[in-house]
Amino acid sequence: MRSLEGQLHLCAINTATLGHREPLAKTLDRIARAGFGGVAPWRREVEAIGATAAARHLRAVGLTVTGYCRSAYLATCDEAERRANMSANIKALDDAAELGAQCFVLVVGGAHGVKGGLVGARSQVHDGVAELYLEARKRGVPLAIEPLHPTYASDRSVVNTIRQALALCESVAPGDNAMLGLAIDVYHCWWDPDLASSIASAGQAGRILGYHVCDWLADTQDRLMDRGMMGDGVVDLPGFRHLIELAGYRGMVEVEIFSEQRWWKVAPDEVLSVCADRLQSAC
Ligand code: ZN
């Protein structure tokens, strides 16, 4: 396994970690100044200044875009919503191409309100990924399906395990691992009894496009907004990264922490400094 000590250029910061409290340009400056090699920005931040300006700023500070966050849902309540989300996603792909993003992250949507419930939602997601994949291929932007923890199946994602996401990739784009793969987030996947074999299969298929870290707090207060800093929770982070790298992943390690009550109240530079420390000591 690669050592991350003194290797912050192998590490990236998802801007959600800083709580979206400042304009993108300022956030990019901070992340670059702290020595990180990459960043994963969100659509609303990029759209606020335009992709062209964002891309220019990214080049100026020398940050790689590990992933562009994130898709509008592919499972929807009705046709009007489906169309609106698809055009938002196509626009996001244009922006991702301009940013030179290594992937566009897909959070596919939950079952609530979808015709046919869970089964219907999964079927819509399959069709949505297939449609978006054709658009992504035209633009040369890989799609990374991010499986979310099963507690999100109702409201955020009906893709809940690495194995399920991998099967979706193989069904939509058999053999095309360059344009369709997975973003694997420890927060969503750490509990999976099939973790080792699922990661090995995803790696063998060449489909691991992103790796996100944080921690699962033993006494977590909120399944969305109370992610822990690496080392503060129950996830075996070195063990997880060992599996990811054993499977062939050579991309960056991206920190993604939603933490309304804790880290989003800490000064951004201090958050980055703790992230840097924990990446080198706890990941
Ligand atoms: Zn993630």
Digit-coded pLDDT (tens) for 175-185: 999 999 999 99
Q: Check residue 200 and give its pLDDT.
A: 98
Cα–Cα dist 144/138, whole Å = 16
- Residue 206: half-sphere exposure toward Cβ, Cα within 13 Å: 8
Could you tell me the distance, in angstroms and rounded to a whole number, from the CA of residue 211 to the centre of ligand 1? 8
Could you tell me the distance, in angstroms and rounded to a whole number, from the CA of residue 254 to the centre of ligand 1? 8
Q: Check residue 135 and give its pLDDT.
A: 98
pTM comes to 0.98
Could you tell me the distance, in angstroms and rounded to a whole number, from the CA of residue 132 to the centre of ligand 1? 20
Token duo for residue 15: 């801007």
Q: Check residue 147 and give its pLDDT.
A: 98
Could you tell me the distance, in angstroms and rounded to a whole number, from the CA of residue 78 to the centre of ligand 1? 27
Could you tell me the distance, in angstroms and rounded to a whole number, from the CA of residue 212 to the centre of ligand 1? 5
Could you tell me the distance, in angstroms and rounded to a whole number, from the CA of residue 256 to the centre of ligand 1? 6
What residue spans of the chain are helical by DSSP H?
24-33, 43-49, 51-61, 79-99, 117-139, 162-172, 186-189, 195-204, 237-246, 268-282
Q: Check residue 122 and give its pLDDT.
A: 98
Could you tell me the distance, in angstroms and rounded to a whole number, from the CA of residue 117 to the centre of ligand 1? 25
Could you tell me the distance, in angstroms and rounded to a whole number, from the CA of residue 100 to the centre of ligand 1? 19
Q: Check residue 106 and give its pLDDT.
A: 98
Could you tell me the distance, in angstroms and rounded to a whole number, from the CA of residue 248 to the centre of ligand 1? 19
Q: Check residue 103 and give its pLDDT.
A: 98
Q: Check residue 90 and give its pLDDT.
A: 98
Q: Check residue 88 and give its pLDDT.
A: 98
Could you tell me the distance, in angstroms and rounded to a whole number, from the CA of residue 33 to the centre of ligand 1? 23
Could you tell me the distance, in angstroms and rounded to a whole number, from the CA of residue 239 to the centre of ligand 1? 18
Q: Check residue 220 and give its pLDDT.
A: 97
Q: Check residue 243 and give its pLDDT.
A: 98
CB 129 within 8 A of CB 168: yes
Could you tell me the distance, in angstroms and rounded to a whole number, from the CA of residue 174 to the centre of ligand 1? 24
**HEC profile for 253-281?**
EEECCCECCCHHHCCHHHHHHHHHHHHHH
Could you tell me the distance, in angstroms and rounded to a whole number, from the CA of residue 138 to the centre of ligand 1? 25
Could you tell me the strand order of the sheet in which 38-40 lies? 64-65, 38-40, 11-14, 253-255, 208-213, 180-185, 143-145, 104-106
Q: Check residue 263 and give its pLDDT.
A: 98
Tens digit of pLDDT for each residue in 83-104?
Answer: 999 999 999 999 999 999 999 9
Q: What is the CA radius of gyration of the chain?
A: 18
Q: Check residue 100 and give its pLDDT.
A: 98
Q: Phi-psi category of 114—alpha, beta or left, where left has phi over 0 and alpha has psi -120 to 50?
A: beta
Q: Check residue 188 and give its pLDDT.
A: 98
Q: Check residue 153 and give its pLDDT.
A: 98
Could you tell me the distance, in angstroms and rounded to a whole number, from the CA of residue 184 to the centre of ligand 1? 7
Q: Check residue 152 and give its pLDDT.
A: 98
Could you tell me the distance, in angstroms and rounded to a whole number, from the CA of residue 214 to the centre of ligand 1? 9
In the predicted model, residues of the chain with pLDDT beneath 70 are none
Q: Read off the DSSP letter of residue 217.
A: -
